[in-house]
């Protein structure tokens, strides 16, 4: 979870805006994603990241949703998600040790005089070059959100031509499961 920022609440009281990672297990049915995203849109909540995939059970999909807000907003979101018929379980990772990763593919300018320096930077971030052209590299990098953000910032000096990120996926540490 990212650090919080202060916003003004009811009566001018300070409220902490935090980034929350929520896992929602849902029935693997057509239309479920639309209903979940519609729930957020109708209430004016912005989804910062959303990943969806099938689980070890083909009847169940796992949604990992990153949303900003204070604890009141998180409570409302959780209650509304529980009301959806296709929802099996909702879990917020607040105060839970978790593993989180993202994947990014970044197409960056790779002029001949900069390639060695660029390859060293990619190695520092444990990225991989997965495509080479006469003017660009496509780099794959995985890691936490902060790592991806830092890598992207370092690549700006070379000229990022295109960027795509998967969004956060998360899992509890240890033997517990959602």
Mean pLDDT of the chain: 90
Residue from 8, 42, 40 nearest 20 by CA: 40
69 torsion bin: left (phi>0), alpha (psi -120 to 50), beta (else): left
Identical fold between 5-95 and 99-171: yes
For the purposes of burial, counting CB atoms within 10 Å of the CB of 33, is it exposed (0-12), middle (13-18) or buried (19 or more)?
middle
**pLDDT > 70: percent of the chain:** 90
pTM: 0.79
What tens digit of pLDDT does each residue of 122-134 get?
999 999 999 999 9
Place of tokens 């029935």: 27
> Where in the chain are the domains?
5-95, 99-171
What tens digit of pLDDT does each residue of 74-84 get?
888 899 999 99
pLDDT higher than 60, residue 1: no
Residues 119, 121, 126, 131, CA torsion sign: negative
Give residue 3's pLDDT.
42
Kindly indicate whether the domain formed by 5-95 is annotated with CATH number 3.40.50.300.
Answer: no
Please indicate whether residue 44 or residue 105 has the higher confidence score (pLDDT): 105
Q: What is the average pLDDT across 56-79? A: 91
Domain 99-171: give its CATH architecture: 2-Layer Sandwich (3.30)
């Amino acid at each position: 979870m990212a650090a919080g920022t202060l916003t003004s609440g009811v009566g001018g009281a300070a409220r902490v805006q935090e980034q929350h990672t929520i896992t929602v297990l849902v029935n693997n049915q057509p239309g479920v994603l639309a209903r979940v995203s519609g729930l957020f849109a109708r209430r004016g909540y912005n989804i910062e990241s959303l990943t969806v995939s099938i689980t070890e059970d083909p009847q169940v999909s796992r949604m990992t949703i990153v949303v900003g807000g204070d604890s009141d907003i998180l409570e409302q979101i959780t209650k509304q998600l529980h009301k959806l018929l296709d929802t099996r379980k909702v879990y917020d990772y607040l105060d839970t040790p978790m593993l989180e990763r993202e994947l990014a593919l970044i197409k960056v300018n790779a002029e001949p005089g900069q390639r060695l320096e660029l390859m060293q930077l990619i190695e520092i971030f444990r990225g991989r070059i997965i495509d080479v052209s006469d003017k660009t590299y496509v780099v794959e990098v995985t890691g936490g959100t902060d790592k991806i953000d830092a890598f992207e910032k370092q690549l700006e000096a070379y000229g990022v031509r295109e960027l795509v990120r998967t969004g956060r996926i998360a899992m509890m540490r240890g033997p517990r499961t959602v």
